[in-house]
Each structure stands twice: as C-alpha cells, then as structure tokens.
Structure 1
Amino acid sequence: MAGSFSQAQKRYKRAFIPVMVFYVVACFGGSYLRAQYETPPDWLSAIVALTMAAPVVAVLFLKLRLLSETDEYTRFRQARNMLFGAAFTVSVCTVWGFLELVELVPHMWTFLVAPIYFFSWGIASLVNRDGGPC
C-alpha cells in the first residue's frame, strides 16, 4: 500500500483532472477538425476517434491504480462496485445485442458501453455507500 486513502485520492485527482481536460479538448477539437472537411479523410477520423477514446481508457487505469493504493476494505468495496458496473453493462449489452440481432431495436453505438459502465458503477457506489445490498 502506497499510503493513506486520502493521499491516494489526491494522486488520483491530480491525474484525473488533466485527463478529463484532455478529453474535453479532444472531443471539441476533434469535432472541429472533422468539420473542416466536407468528407474528412479516414486517417483524421481515426486519429480523432483514438484521441477521444484514450482518456476513457486512462480513467480506468487510474481507477485501478487507486484501487491498488488503498486498504483492503476500501479495495473490496470499490472492486464490488466496479464488478456490479461491469455485470450490469454486460447484461444490458447482451440483451440489447440479441434484441438487435432479431431486429427489434435499433443498432446501439459501441462507444456507449463506457458511459453505461461508469453510470452503473456510480449507482452501485451510491447504493453501497453504507454496505448496501450489492
């Protein structure tokens, strides 16, 4: 363990804030760059997409680092919340995928998996704040 939870939380926030600033700049900047072309070149679209995805991936790794720097009880609670978020996300995506397969629902963009995961993880964190049911 690298130190107290508050120290780990401070390290997390010091890394998280610049990553999120980069994400916002990438989203707006990427959209602006693509709008400069009637038909944006594939290489530009790929760079924009990867640049927007990188901070989302970085946040997951920052959370994993935070998890490894905390005590066992906090680690257990966070891991349980992350697992609930993952289980909920996989469930939603699986059900939606089969409904999509039989053409009962429209196609869902894959990038929505991350917001569904983060949202369900957040809900689990709220529900389990005092050692709740999940």
Structure 2
Amino acid sequence: MTAHMQNLWQSPGPWFGLATGLGAPIIALAFAGVLPWGWAGALLVVPAFLMIQMIRTIKNNDLPAVTGSPAIARYTMRMMAASFAYVIGLMIAIWLHGQLPAGSPLLYAVTLLPTVPALGMIWAMFRYLLDETDEYLRHRASLASLIGLGIVLCLGTIWGFLETFGLVPNIFAWWVVPAWAMGLAIGQGILARQDTRAGEPS
C-alpha cells in the first residue's frame, strides 16, 4: 500500500490541487484590484511550476496502474475537471460582474457560477470514498481530507479572531475551497511521507 500512496504523486491530482489552491486566490485578488498584476504575475510562478509538474504526470496515461486503484484514477480526473471549471468560473464571474447592472437576476447566476464546480470537488471526494474498495486507501483519503479540513478550520478561526479585533482586514469567504484543495494535497504528501518512513528499515 505504501507504493500506492507514493505513486499518487505520480498522478496529476495532487499537483493540480496545489496549483489551484495557490493560483485561484491570486488571480481573483488581481481581478478584484486588491493585488497589483505585477505582484500577481510574480506569485503565479509557483502555481505555474506546479502545473508543469502536473503536465509531466499526465504523460503517463495509465492512471489506474500508477495509482493502484481505478477509483483513485476516476477521482483524480473528476477533481481536475472540477478544479479547472472552478478557476474558469471564478474568472468569468469577476469579469462579468462589472459588465452587468446592479440588481440584475443574471448577476446572481454569474456570481454563483464558481460554486457549482466547488461543490463538484466535494462530491468527487464523497464519491471516491464510496467507490474505493481498498479499505487502506479509503482510510488514507479520509485522513488527507480531514487534514485539509483542519487547515481550513485553523486558518478560519485564527483569522476570524484577528479580524474581530480589527488586527487584520476582512477577506472573502470563498478562500475556503482553494485552501481545502491545497490542504488536501498537503495531507496526501504528509501521509505518503509517513508511509515511506514506515517502510524504511530501522
């Protein structure tokens, strides 16, 4: 099973999760005018590097063999599709927001456009936990998801109290999805590293 967890990083899923978690907030803040495009371009170097790594893994087109589980292969493709749609939907919503009149019903639909693929990410994880027949891999995926959720809860709690007492500025709540995606990838990396250490001779 250790080899399966290590091979997970040979698939595009974790790399895409990290790239999305870092890149989506940068792009959104730049479009909103909060972050200068010069700084945004510099910061996007890191997600770009992660995307390059993702593209390298896509060259291996036999995901079930790489991951050791057909369920992981299906989950990876679902998460990639949902993450890509999330980034595109977010950019479209930010762009069209300034083009539509205030109070327009279409404005509500455009604003909620990124929420559909965001919910798709949650559904992809839920579906994977139902589809995975390997109890060990299902357990590891649950732990990684909890690590991602724990990161979101910690960040939200800490920032929330700092914001309550006026020590930091208000931030938009949509950051939770990119943070969870990034935390999920981090959790997979932590667990894979633990498996590697457990398999090393003492």
Task: Give the TM bin, normalised by the shorter chain.
Answer: 0.7 to 0.9
| 2:69 alignment counterpart | 6
The structure whose RCO (Cα within 8 Å, separation 6+) is larger is: 2
RMSD, aligned α-carbons: 2.4
Structure 2, unmatched stretches of 5+, are 1-63, 198-202
Offset of 1:48 from its aligned partner? 1.4
| 2:144 alignment counterpart | 81
Judged with a 3 Å threshold, the aligned counterparts in structure 2 of structure 1 residues 130 and 69 are, in CA distance, closer, same or farther, namely farther
Offset of 1:33 from its aligned partner? 2.8
| 1:49 alignment counterpart | 111
CA deviation vs aligned residue, 1:48-69 (integer Å, no higher than 9, x gap) = 1211111011111111111221
| 2:184 alignment counterpart | 121
Offset of 1:80 from its aligned partner? 0.6
Judged with a 3 Å threshold, the aligned counterparts in structure 2 of structure 1 residues 17 and 94 are, in CA distance, closer, same or farther, namely closer
Offset of 1:34 from its aligned partner? 2.7
C-alpha separation in 2, matches of 1:23 and 1:88: 20
Q: Secondary structure at the match of 1:41?
A: coil
| 1:34 alignment counterpart | 97
C-alpha separation in 2, matches of 1:93 and 1:57: 19
| 1:98 alignment counterpart | 161
Tell me the TM-score normalised to structure 1 length. Answer: 0.79
Moved over 4 A (4+): none
Tell me the TM-score normalised to structure 2 length. Answer: 0.55
Judged with a 3 Å threshold, the aligned counterparts in structure 2 of structure 1 residues 106 and 26 are, in CA distance, closer, same or farther, namely same
Identity level (%): 26
| 1:111 alignment counterpart | 174
Q: For 1:91, give the aligned amino acid.
A: C
Contact in 2 for aligned 1:34/1:44 (Cα 8 Å): no
